[in-house]
A = this chain, B = another copy of it.
């Protein structure tokens, strides 16, 4: 399933080309490396009743849940993120959840669409990782071809209606000078998690063992490095699952929504 990033960039040089591949059914794998320079997003789709609470949850927790765009109820199109972008067909794979349980993984959700569904596109760390690499900050999990290490923490989120739960963070090990540069670079990207939420001792945010991530793959932290932690887009997914809504659709892990937005256009200052 995993292809070299350079192949994917050739296959899908921009958001429209990436979405066309998904829509035609020609590709249903990971999107990391596709459409270089373009914003990719986490997806959550909820019935209107839960969607109102969830929108307030995102508003109150912008670091783990930076909202890029929300659909009109019942409308599967999201023109703010891409010309003709259709949430029913334009992601590689979707997960379908009923009462909080995963019940299916599919390439297309046209048959599941309802006129009370609301889609949420939430910023993803791919954008700031691209900015970090361009700034010369090495990312070990990228160099080693692994998924980033993610952890449940003791950091609270601010609840809204039925949605509540701890923040999930991603961790990248860095030398101190790179950690300082990483704060500067990622502060420019509030729409894709922004600045780190913690640096240093993992126990202070409730992480017992860096070698045992709750999601993704462990990476080594050298003696001369600091673990640097960012709020992670798995937080909204984890919070939604814990609330066990009657119905929900999300992207499958690593199979993101590829948009027409350019990373450098969402940078502040």
Considering the complex, which residues of chain A in the window 148-201 have a beta carbon less than 8 Å from any beta carbon of chain B? 176-177, 179-180, 183-184, 187, 195-201
Look across to chain B and name the residue whose beta carbon is closest to the beta carbon of A195.
B180
**Residue contact A184 to B179, C-beta cutoff 8 Å:** no
Complex contact A199–B199 (CB within 8 A) = yes
Q: Is the CB of B184 within 8 A of A199?
A: no
The distance from the CB of A198 to the nearest CB of chain B, in whole angstroms, is: 5
A226 on the B face (CB < 8 A): yes
> Which of B176, B184, B196, B204 contacts A187 (CB under 8 A)?
B184
Q: Is the CB of B204 within 8 A of A180?
A: no
**Min CB–CB distance A8 → chain B (angstroms):** 33
Answer whether A200 and B226 are a contact pair too, CB < 8 Å, given A180-B195, A195-B180: yes
Copy total for this chain? 2
Q: Which size class do A's interface residues fall under?
A: 10 to 19
A194-251 CB contacts (< 8 Å) to partner B: 195-201, 204, 224, 226
Whether A204 contacts B183 by the Cβ 8 Å rule is no
Q: Are A197 and B183 in contact (CB under 8 A)?
A: no
- Return A68 CB to nearest CB of chain B, in Å: 22
Q: Mark A32-65, 1 if CB is under 8 A from B, else 0.
A: 0000000000000000000000000000000000
Nearest Cβ on chain B to A199's Cβ, whole angstroms: 5
Q: How far is the CA of A197 from the CA of B176 in the complex (A)?
A: 8
Residue in chain B with minimal CB distance to A175: B204
A187 to B195, CA, bound (A): 13
Contact A201 B224 (CB under 8 A): yes
Known contacts A184-B183, A184-B187: A200-B198 contact under CB 8 Å: no
Contact across chains for A184 and B176 when beta carbons are under 8 A apart: no
Known: A183-B183, A269-B269. A176 touches B195 (CB 8 A): no
Complex: A184 Cα to B197 Cα, angstroms: 13
Top 10 A-B pairs, shortest CB-CB distance: A183-B183, A269-B269, A176-B199, A176-B198, A200-B226, A184-B187, A176-B200, A180-B196, A180-B195, A180-B183
A-B pairs with beta carbons under 8 Å apart, 9 shown: A176-B199, A176-B204, A180-B183, A183-B183, A183-B184, A183-B195, A184-B195, A199-B199, A199-B226
